[in-house]
Structure 1
């Protein structure tokens, strides 16, 4: 690959990765307006952030099938087209279209979650670790931009939340401009499949530890994203300040991802990252119970989530001996892990409605940190799971 082509691919990866979270994150700062106009209950409103996570789990196994049928680059171009369609579906008035557009967005993100790392491994085999760091930072950056601009956009559109949500149909169009050259220049030949005997990952305790950590850290993250603005508003913060706090949460997540990326190469055992991030989460949730220093607690929570998502992605690679094993591990971790994570926003919303406050939901999230840290400690050990597999997609 020429230097220019490689630079174009890096830009394309960054732009697509930055589009994999805004459609989910932008909803939570607007939940107060959405519920006021539509009359949705807490659990029903939480579905707007839970549906995409369900899609991540349910549809992740089908993404490689799409890539094998039409090719990897065309599949990722289709992801961006689906994102645009999902964003526009949320503009009309019927509430059912709000949920339908969210589901389309979720399906697109699910495919992007699985296929974009495959492209990174194929195009940057010598710098896959560095590019996965770029990938993680781009995820956090896109989420931070969405969180920070959600309320200003809402105010700009005069609290017309449908228009403020539909605006997120535009960034995928911009990303498409970077992907079309890759579509034109893609190779016509397919890489050979990796053939090897199969051993079920679901019989391996280490694989379940990786999956458990992926699922629990995702559950805590999506529950926090869904309800952090509401928690802060209930404690006295204004709607705009709560949106900015969510932006701080995601911005500091970038720092967490960078810290992990810069230091993980010096360690053979990653259990310490899991334990440290659980402590940071616990302090942040405990701080939210006091109702003061909202930006500080949001920053601590953000630092924790930046470390945990980077660790979850890295464990899939570090515990597997090659890309073939990692592909199967990724499918298992994302499918089962995200289905577990989907319960987070709805569960927290239901506990809030049942108790009339946020103390019990925060204590629940704090309790979930114990199994999360335990799974991370097991998965973080310096061991490699040698489970052969078979993978392969067209270009």
Structure 2
């Protein structure tokens, strides 16, 4: 193995270690919300807001990450965020009711930084393996998220909800040390700062950036609507709560497979086929639940594959459509800010729609419309319009060294 190969492997492993920290602190909350409410006297409205607070943090902080990255570099900014995540977990669990809200807000803000910067680091350190590396990274995120949710109740039964949520500070502290060691051999932050001056135009005025943002927002909104309401939707179809819980687990687990497989559908000069492949299963799943609700597991499994593939597709587009690390940071921040803002609003809108109509059918129709919109956006963003059709060959050649 060459020195360059060893460096790429070290970079990949470090990114995957960081990925372990980006979801458990959030997914561990849902299973113990009832315990938190009973202990602190919080009603359903307050608990709902507590669950949405990290997503709102993602939306608020993501656009600011590129400024932090310019000042401290990607590695330094991510190191500070990981350290802040440990503090947030401790504060949320062990400092009473005010700390619950403050710690949750800190967790949302620090995880947002990781969400934005990981695609940037993948583009910089693994330029010829962006899609595959993103798929593996997303699989690690999904696996860690599932573990966080799975162990929450057993840990709470051993102690309390405070132990269940606070125990994550220990492995996160280890991840801080691992990433600190990574910063000692990372790229020179000065190079990142110098490169930042090359990106003069704001991504908020870029049509391509808005297409990437739309793809991110549509897939994230569909995912969070289903994660929030799928058991309730199935209950309306006569599915037991136990079975619906298993179906929700299946929906998330098969997404790992979808995320790992979709990179093989991506091509250097075009990602249109991959965008279609990722999106169509979402539409099939929603159409199936509407037309043949007697086989919910079939449709949920198909939709889950599409959700996992769509997440990897959206993260890959952030890396592929950013021409420099600085531009990728801005694009990632923009796409995740708007995307998670929509994702936070999606479950609320779906719930209001169901309550006002007395049926979950309109929500499923809405999700089917989201899939149709995502398909249209995916076709539009699948080719980098800045190079044009004539530049496809050049883009393919450049992709051997890194997407431009």
Name the TM-score class by shorter chain: 0.7 to 0.9
Instruction: Indicate which of 26, 29, 47 corresponds to 1:27.
Output: 29
Q: Distance in 2 between matches of 1:189 and 1:249?
A: 40
- Give the aligned partner of residue 347 of structure 1: 349
- Give the aligned partner of residue 169 of structure 1: 169
Q: Distance in 2 between matches of 1:129 and 1:276?
A: 14
Q: Which has the higher contact order (CA 8 A, sep 6+)?
A: 1
Instruction: Indicate which of 244, 247, 259 corresponds to 1:245.
Output: 247
Structure 2 vs 1, CA of residues 137 and 81 (structure 1 numbering), >3 Å: closer, same or farther? same
Taking the TM superposition and a 5 Å limit, the aligned residue runs for 1:76-225 are 76-92=78-94, 94-154=96-156, 156-157=157-158, 160-186=160-186, 190-191=190-191, 192-196=194-198, 198-225=200-227
Q: Answer whether contact 1:319 1:383 (CA < 8 A) is retained.
A: no
How well do the aligned residues superpose, as a CA RMSD in angstroms? 3.4
Q: Distance in 2 between matches of 1:39 and 1:197?
A: 46
Q: 5+ residue gaps in structure 1?
A: 387-395
Q: Distance in 1 between matches of 2:122 and 2:138?
A: 12
Structure 2 vs 1, CA of residues 81 and 258 (structure 1 numbering), >3 Å: closer, same or farther? same
Q: Distance in 1 between matches of 2:312 and 2:336?
A: 14
Q: CA deviation at 1:309?
A: 0.9
Structure 2 vs 1, CA of residues 325 and 71 (structure 1 numbering), >3 Å: closer, same or farther? closer
Normalised to the residue count of structure 1, the TM-score between the two structures is 0.81
For 1:188-235, what per-residue CA distance to the aligned partner results, in whole angstroms no more than 9, with x for missing partners? 662132544734444443332221111111111122223334545675
Structure 2 vs 1, CA of residues 70 and 153 (structure 1 numbering), >3 Å: closer, same or farther? same
Q: CA deviation at 1:324?
A: 4.6
Q: CA deviation at 1:296?
A: 3.8
SS in 2 for 1:342: helix
Matched, 1:308 2:324: no
Taking the TM superposition and a 5 Å limit, the aligned residue runs for 1:221-236 are 221-232=223-234, 235-236=238-239
Instruction: Indicate which of 248, 268, 271 corresponds to 2:270.
Output: 268
Q: CA deviation at 1:369?
A: 2.6
Normalised to the residue count of structure 2, the TM-score between the two structures is 0.79
Q: CA deviation at 1:29?
A: 3.8
Structure 2 vs 1, CA of residues 8 and 381 (structure 1 numbering), >3 Å: closer, same or farther? closer
- Give the aligned partner of residue 392 of structure 1: none
Q: Distance in 1 between matches of 2:108 and 2:5?
A: 34
Q: Distance in 1 between matches of 2:327 and 2:33?
A: 40
- Give the aligned partner of residue 280 of structure 1: 281
- Equivalenced residue count is 381
For 1:85-117, what per-residue CA distance to the aligned partner results, in whole angstroms no more than 9, with x for missing partners? 222233248444333222111101111112222
Structure 2 vs 1, CA of residues 233 and 120 (structure 1 numbering), >3 Å: closer, same or farther? same
Q: Distance in 1 between matches of 2:164 and 2:68?
A: 31
After TM superposition, the structure 1 stretch with the greater mean CA deviation from structure 2, 374-383 or 111-120, is: 374-383
Q: Distance in 2 between matches of 1:161 and 1:229?
A: 23
- Give the aligned partner of residue 40 of structure 1: 43
Q: 5+ residue gaps in structure 2?
A: 389-404
Q: CA deviation at 1:31?
A: 4.4
Q: Answer whether contact 2:203 2:331 (CA < 8 A) is retained.
A: yes
Instruction: Indicate which of 346, 369, 372 corresponds to 1:370.
Output: 372
Q: Distance in 1 between matches of 2:200 and 2:268?
A: 32
- Give the aligned partner of residue 389 of structure 1: none
Q: Answer whether contact 1:59 1:107 (CA < 8 A) is retained.
A: yes
Structure 2 vs 1, CA of residues 315 and 384 (structure 1 numbering), >3 Å: closer, same or farther? farther
Q: Answer whether contact 1:124 1:131 (CA < 8 A) is retained.
A: yes
Q: Answer whether contact 1:288 1:294 (CA < 8 A) is retained.
A: yes
Q: Answer whether contact 1:57 1:335 (CA < 8 A) is retained.
A: yes
Q: Answer whether contact 2:64 2:333 (CA < 8 A) is retained.
A: no
Q: Distance in 2 between matches of 1:10 and 1:269?
A: 23
Structure 2 vs 1, CA of residues 169 and 346 (structure 1 numbering), >3 Å: closer, same or farther? farther
